[in-house]
Amino acid sequence: MIAAHLPALQIVLPLLSAPLCVLLVRARLAYALSLIVCWLAFAISIMLLGQVLDGGVISYRLGGWAPPWGIEYRVDLVNAYVLLIVAAIGALVITYAGPSVAREIGGGRETLFYTSYMLCLTGLLGVTITGDAFNIFVFLEISSLSSYILISLGTDRRALTASFRYLIFGTIGATFFLIGVGLIYQATGTLNLADMANRVEPLGASRTVQAAFAFMAVGLAVKAALFPLHSWLPNAYAYAPSVVSAFLAATATKVSIYVLIRTYFSVFGPEFSFEVMTLGPVLMVLSIAAMLIGSMIAIFQDDIKRSFAYSSVAQIGYMVLGIGFATVLGVTGGMLHLFNHALMKGALFLALGCLIWRTGSVSITAMQGLGKRMPWTMAAIVGGGLSLIGVPLTVGFISKWYLLLAAIDSGLWWVAVFILISSLMAIIYVWRLVEVAYLSPSPDGAPSGEAPLVMLIPTWVLVLANFYFGVDTRVSVGVATEAAKYLLGAGS
């Protein structure tokens, strides 16, 4: 009975818990509630993936209204996989949040944090699970509005301008998306994605469809922080509270990329997207620029959170590059990196949160001698960093393997060269941290001692996941390959 309603529960549970957090008033109670709900959401996402693997696509009619008139929650391999990523990160980050939120946010605003966090999680899960274009917009706005709040909770006053900037960009992005949806609705008369896909095809390359495609693609590119529309991201990640940086870096852009994939492949179909609209070269050029410029800027940042934020811009380039190949190998690489990058950046930002908890700073000077002062935190940064570089036995290696293989498979050698250059730049921006932390002596009176276990354990769970999924790739590669085949097969 309950099993049949899992798609609804996936959204309703976190949604309901958000106002409850406000009513609970006490931070501790709100934390406990969010903790339980997030882990439940994670459990549900696992069960959903299991159901999809067993029985194929799940179509859930919300309120019993049949699609295409009612809202349909549609879970296939692609979004079951993304749901799992979002929910898993959501659960790990909330577990970690207690002490970090108390120290960085505090002052009676903690319940506000938990409320926004749950809303944001709801929005991200909702975007992923829904099969309705307008519904995507609604959830996109839920997640965005709540993330503006989350970012503005940062201790640094620059968090406010960062949040405002994100608000402007996010609104433009969402509006563009909505315009695209409006145009396509005008042309097809439907908002249901599956139905839309059927009706778009006979329309061919009409101007309305092309305009709709362009609006949706650009709008989503803003939300996904694809270069050169990324400028909201670095400050937003740098000045947000640590928990928020970790959560958003690991999930928010991923969900936008998921919608991109959905739009390109499922709605418009690979033929229209990549042959009529020649999206391939556009995506490749932009993503390569993202990889090179993002990595380059990351090297010169003194603020480590900013450095990793720029690294995220580069890593988003990897994901989009994979999509740009529009081959099974390429899309597998992109989807894999979606998962793998969530693990890397989740681990790294959580480790930085431990650093802030102890020292109150993430400038590179605060890391002098950190190898001695916070050995476990620093080891976590090294572990995540190795994965970011793409050393074998880490997930980063697996992503790189597939992207390079896809480049060779498509005969695009020059793309392979850029992937490698960007990897080499990652060595630089990761290794300078290692040098400072292990080879420099600690300044006098520098705070030392580890962060609480509640924070360290989730961090290390993610770090170890980087290695575990770098060796045992059956789940990640298996699901990503199947999803890629499904996406590319759907259009033909």
Note the residues at the interface with another protein (CB under 8 A). 386, 389-393, 398, 400-401, 404-405, 408-409, 416, 420-421, 423-424, 427, 431, 435, 438-440, 471-474, 477, 481
**CA pair distance 5, 327, nearest whole angstrom:** 35
Token digits of residue 135:
């519904």
- Closer to another protein by Cβ: residue 13 or 380: 380
DSSP state letters, 350-412: HHHHHHHHHHS--BGGGGTTHHHHSHHHHHHHHHHHHHHHT-TTSHHHHHHHHHHHHHHHTT-
- Closer to another protein by Cβ: residue 134 or 438: 438
Whose CA is closest to 360, among 170, 104, 162, 150?
104
- Closer to another protein by Cβ: residue 21 or 406: 406
Gyration radius of the chain's alpha carbons: 21
**CA pair distance 178, 185, nearest whole angstrom:** 10
Cis bond upstream, residue 441 (ω within 30): no
- Closer to another protein by Cβ: residue 108 or 441: 441
Contacts of 150 (CB under 8 A, 6+ apart): 113, 116, 117, 120, 240, 241, 244, 247, 248
Least CB distance from residue 230 to another protein, whole Å? 25
Least CB distance from residue 397 to another protein, whole Å? 9
- Closer to another protein by Cβ: residue 168 or 424: 424
Least CB distance from residue 405 to another protein, whole Å? 5
- Closer to another protein by Cβ: residue 213 or 429: 429
Least CB distance from residue 427 to another protein, whole Å? 6
- Closer to another protein by Cβ: residue 119 or 395: 395
DSSP state letters, 255-273: HHHHHHHIIIIIISHHIII
Least CB distance from residue 421 to another protein, whole Å? 8
Buried b (16+ CB within 10 A) or exposed e, 158-197: ebeebbebbbebbebbbebbbbbbbbbeebbebbbbbbbb
Indicate the SS3 state at residue 233. helix
**CA pair distance 402, 142, nearest whole angstrom:** 34
Least CB distance from residue 187 to another protein, whole Å? 41
Least CB distance from residue 167 to another protein, whole Å? 39
- Closer to another protein by Cβ: residue 60 or 402: 402
Least CB distance from residue 330 to another protein, whole Å? 13
Q: 31 with 105: CB under 8 angstroms?
A: no
Least CB distance from residue 351 to another protein, whole Å? 18
DSSP state letters, 280-319: HHHHHHHHHHHHHHHHHHHHT-SBHHHHHHHHHHHHHHHH
Token digits of residue 128:
């992923």
- Closer to another protein by Cβ: residue 51 or 295: 295
Whose CA is closest to 331, among 171, 483, 492?
483
- Closer to another protein by Cβ: residue 459 or 481: 481
Least CB distance from residue 329 to another protein, whole Å? 10
- Closer to another protein by Cβ: residue 317 or 396: 396
Least CB distance from residue 407 to another protein, whole Å? 9
**CA pair distance 110, 101, nearest whole angstrom:** 7
Q: 11 with 95: CB under 8 angstroms?
A: no
Token digits of residue 448:
């030392």
Whose CA is closest to 356, among 366, 348, 368?
366
